[in-house]
């Protein structure tokens, strides 16, 4: 069956909208025993959509004041102007969400002093649970009489039945993502214009146009997320072949670039690369376009490591009202730079050239630009360009950063030196999807025989083989497809190692999967690396991240409490949710509100814990005054006696490891705290299921 578009409401749930208006839902769960991230089909009637809505970043969008204000101004201006020249206004709000933009249109019309014009508003929303919330919000604000909500995708609206033949003269829509077009905005506007609207000249679309910009930047920090670097600069046996260097592919890397601006050095001015006039989109090429921009001037000497991309919207026809995702460093005005709107629903997109390019100030380069219906691609060089290639991702960007991170590498090197100084260690088993540790062992210890359990990620398995066969010397390894006894005799194994890292893991403790894989084989003579894991936490005051879960209450003087209530309802009766976040992208108050607290220690060498649930009640004492709005969780692994590797922070005020996602619980109701106060919590680790849970008691 043809799938129209995949919409992510959260990183854990996929809603697949099929060609008909029906919707199927798959939810992702990690099975610790098999290690598989399973997509489980759930019947629509059974599925708790509210839970998914609660986990989405929908609320953050409603907290985006700049977005709300610019939309409202454009709506007011358009309705005021049009009501002077027409007798009838029919607004179509595409993707109404809570009904916010429709309600803005109703209010704008009520405030215009033109009695001879009539108003009709049709709001459509493809996600049925959201359409129900829209109806409730509109009712709560006493606007049901003038706004009709239809729970359909705009492309499925029928002019005669759904709009009673009454053609649209204003479209308002906020169907954009970080990449602008990733939610299908091009087809959404094009189809509406083709089938539902009056003539182009009298039609108004809010926003009217969009421009996509890129800037050439130097950033070894961003390169760390893209290109695998060799184990050392000199003399190594194992070299990573060029074809294996970009395991995260060249798909978009989306992140909060403002938070890492100190690691980004612009080499050019912002370059406008694509313009979209939403009234006149051309679907003849399936919304695909490519072009080469010649003579792009570099302003500084440096290396083009990446492209930072953002976009800007002309909200009104004249382009007087603007809304965009311009990075903070591009503002001329210092005050604006400091007060840039924080948002999570639109961040920045990073793309990488096929080869970083060294340039001198005043050099001119050519920029290749491509987009299809949903995504963008850029490259730089001297033409002719290699063809665009959307190479797929076999590893996440953070896993690539983990491979490259020097501090992490050095910890492994130190720990391996200690472990392998024991002469009785000869034959080892490596388990996991991490490429670094097996390569380090084979490079550094030719006398160790390494048996490698093949990754269940077939592409990674092939990559590892390619890297190893590219070695300049014979390496002492064997790759096995399973731990069955015909492949491995555990009596002869001296040590089992894991980074531990699995591509399917979502939360930090999911990587403990390696412990589950070996449980039935492990015996007391086998040393484990790592030997212990401890789950740790810290209380934080996030500068902004907490907003993605804060209640909205009033938004532009509209009462959106039905939206909050639905989410609150969903959050009751379940453990406090812990979601994966890359905390290096989100600043928080320093010094931190609490010290680092150890919650659960797992002795991986003691398999007797198998059926146990370990529960702990403890207090988190606060060291400073502030507002506690989040608790971060992560795991530290003991590699050797005094060598611990963190996946979070080692010390309170360190920067967060960028090579692993941490778990975060954002408090629905942030707590105002004073130094000396305590937060009582309960945490549990279920050894059978490998699940960690946590609750705030008081
Ligand atoms: N307009 C609201 C919500 C914006 S979020 C606001 O500005 O606050 C975008 C919403 O559009 C989502 O709820 C998504 O489900 C919906 N959506 C996206 N494309 C759509 C389409 N073509 N037709 C109907 N709904 C769509």
| Exposed / middle / buried, residue 14 (Cβ in 10 Å: 0-12, 13-18, 19+) | middle
User: In angstroms, rounded to a whole number, what is the distance separating the alpha carbons of residues 95 and 92?
Assistant: 9
**How many whole angstroms from 228 Cα to the centroid of ligand 1?**
38
| pLDDT, mean of residues 118-136 | 95
More confident residue, 323 or 242: 323
Say yes or no to pLDDT of 670 above 50: yes
Q: What is the mean pLDDT of residues 458-464?
A: 92
pLDDT value for 385: 61
Residue 46: band (very low, low, confident or very high) from pLDDT cuts 50, 70, 90: very low
pLDDT score for 389: 67
Q: Indicate the SS3 state at residue 405.
A: coil
pLDDT in tens, 284-337: 888 999 999 999 999 999 999 999 999 999 999 999 999 999 999 999 888 888
Q: Judging by DSSP bridges, how do beta strands 579-581 and 477-480 pair with one another?
A: unpaired
Q: What local confidence, expressed as pLDDT, does residue 170 receive?
A: 98
* Every domain of the chain and the residues it spans: 64-174, 209-393, 399-527, 532-696
Q: What is the predicted pLDDT for the residue at 359?
A: 96
87-113 mean pLDDT: 96
Q: Is residue 590 packed enough to be buried (19+ CB in 10 Å), middle (13-18) or exposed (0-12)?
A: exposed
Average pLDDT over the chain reads: 89
**Which residue, 224, 232, 220, 346, is CA-closest to 658?**
224
The pLDDT of residue 19: 32
Residue scoring higher pLDDT (455 or 392): 455
pLDDT beyond 50 at 39: no
Q: Which atom of ligand 1 is nearest to the CA of 62?
A: 8
Check residue 497 and give its pLDDT: 97
Please tell me the predicted confidence (pLDDT) of residue 24.
45
At 21 the pLDDT is 37
Is a pLDDT exceeding 80 seen at residue 499?
Answer: yes
Task: Write the pLDDT tens digit of every residue in 162-211.
Answer: 999 999 999 999 999 999 999 999 999 999 999 999 999 999 999 999 99
Q: Residue 9 above 60 pLDDT?
A: no
Q: Distance from the CA of 126 to the center of ligand 1, in angstroms?
A: 7
3-class state of residue 399 by DSSP = helix
| Beta carbon of 137 within 6 Å of any ligand 1 atom | no
> pLDDT digits over 329-358, tens only?
999 888 888 889 999 999 999 999 989 999
Bigger pLDDT: 55 or 268? 268
Q: What is the pTM of this model?
A: 0.90
399-527 and 64-174 share a CATH fold: yes
Assigned fold of 399-527:
Rossmann fold (3.40.50)
Residues 387-409: what's their mean pLDDT?
88
C-alpha of residue 98 to centroid of ligand 1, in Å: 9
**CATH among 2.70.160.11, 1.10.150.300, 2.40.50.1020, 3.30.420.40 for 532-696:** 2.70.160.11
Q: Identify the CATH class of 209-393.
A: mainly beta
**Domain 64-174: CATH architecture, name and number where available:** 3-Layer(aba) Sandwich (3.40)
Quote the ligand 1 centre to 154 CA distance (angstroms).
Answer: 9
**Spatial CA neighbour of 300 closest among 381, 221, 363, 257:** 363
pLDDT score for 612: 85
Which residue, judged by its Cα, is nearest atom 14 of ligand 1? 95
Ligand 1 and 188: CB distance under 6 A? yes
């Amino acid at each position: 069956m043809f799938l129209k578009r995949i919409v992510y409401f959260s990183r854990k749930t996929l809603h697949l909208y099929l060609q008909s208006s029906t919707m199927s839902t798959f939810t992702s769960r990690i099975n610790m025993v098999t290690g598989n991230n399973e997509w489980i089909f759930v019947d629509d009637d059974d599925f708790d959509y509210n839970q998914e809505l609660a986990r989405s970043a929908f609320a953050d969008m409603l907290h985006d004041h700049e977005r709300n204000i610019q939309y409202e101004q454009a709506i007011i201006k358009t309705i005021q102007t049009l009501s002077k020249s027409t007798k009838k206004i029919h607004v179509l709000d595409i993707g109404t969400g809570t009904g916010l933009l429709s309600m803005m249109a109703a209010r704008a019309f009520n405030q215009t002093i033109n009695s001879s014009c009539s108003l009709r508003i049709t709001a459509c929303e493809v996600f049925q649970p959201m359409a129900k919330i829209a109806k409730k919000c509109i009712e709560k604000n006493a606007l049901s009489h003038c706004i009709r909500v239809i729970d359909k995708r705009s492309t499925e609206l029928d002019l005669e039945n759904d709009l009673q033949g009454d053609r649209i003269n204003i479209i308002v829509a906020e169907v954009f993502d970080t990449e602008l077009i990733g939610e299908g905005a091009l087809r959404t506007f094009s189809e509406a214009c083709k089938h539902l609207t009056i003539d182009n000249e009298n039609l108004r679309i809010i926003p009217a146009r969009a421009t996509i910009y890129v800037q050439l930047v130097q950033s070894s920090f961003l390169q760390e997320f893209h290109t695998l670097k060799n184990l050392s600069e000199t003399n190594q046996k194992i070299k990573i072949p060029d074809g294996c260097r970009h395991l995260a592919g060249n798909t978009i890397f989306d992140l909060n670039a403002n938070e890492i601006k100190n690691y980004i050095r612009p080499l050019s001015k912002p370059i406008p690369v694509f313009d979209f006039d939403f009234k006149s989109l051309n679907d003849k090429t399936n919304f695909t376009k490519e072009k080469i921009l010649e003579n792009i001037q570099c302003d500084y000497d440096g290396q083009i490591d990446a492209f930072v991309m953002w976009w800007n919207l002309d909200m009104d026809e004249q382009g007087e009202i603007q809304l965009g995702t311009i990075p903070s460093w591009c503002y001329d005005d210092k005050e604006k730079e400091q007060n840039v709107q924080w948002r999570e629903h639109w961040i920045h997109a990073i793309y990488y050239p096929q080869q970083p390019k060294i340039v001198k100030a005043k050099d001119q380069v050519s920029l290749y630009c491509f987009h299809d219906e949903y995504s963008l691609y850029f490259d730089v060089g001297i033409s002719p360009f290699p063809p665009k290639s959307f190479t797929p991702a076999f590893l996440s960007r953070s896993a690539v950063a983990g491979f490259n991170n020097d501090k992490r590498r050095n910890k492994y090197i130190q720990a391996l030196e200690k472990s392998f100084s024991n002469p009785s260690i000869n034959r080892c088993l490596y388990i996991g999807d991490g490429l670094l540790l097996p390569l380090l062992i084979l490079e550094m210890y030719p006398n160790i025989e390494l048996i490698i359990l093949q990754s269940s990620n077939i592409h990674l398995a092939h990559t590892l083989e390619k890297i190893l066969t590219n070695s300049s010397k014979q390496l002492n390894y064997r790759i096995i497809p399973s731990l069955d006894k015909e492949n491995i005799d555990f009596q002869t194994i001296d040590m089992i190692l894991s980074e531990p890292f699995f591509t399917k893991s979502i939360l930090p403790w999911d990587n403990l999967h390696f412990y589950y894989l070996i449980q039935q084989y492990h015996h007391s003579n086998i040393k484990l690396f790592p030997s212990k894991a401890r789950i740790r936490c810290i209380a934080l005051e996030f500068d902004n991240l907490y907003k993605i879960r804060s209640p909205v209450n009033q938004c532009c003087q509209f009462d959106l409490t039905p939206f909050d209530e639905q989410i609150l309802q969903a959050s009751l009766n379940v453990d406090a949710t812990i979601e994966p976040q890359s905390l290096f992208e989100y600043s928080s108050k320093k010094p931190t509100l609490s010290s680092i607290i150890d919650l659960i220690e797992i002795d991986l060498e003691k398999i007797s814990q198998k059926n146990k649930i370990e529960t702990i009640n403890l207090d988190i004492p606060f060291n400073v005054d502030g507002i506690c709005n989040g608790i971060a969780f992560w795991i530290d692994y003991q590699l050797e006696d005094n060598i611990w590797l963190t996946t979070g922070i080692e010390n309170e005020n360190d920067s967060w490891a960028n090579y692993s996602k941490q778990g975060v619980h954002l408090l629905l109701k942030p707590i105002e705290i004073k130094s000396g106060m305590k937060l009582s919590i309960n945490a549990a680790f279920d050894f059978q299921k490998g699940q960690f849970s946590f609750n705030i008691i008081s």
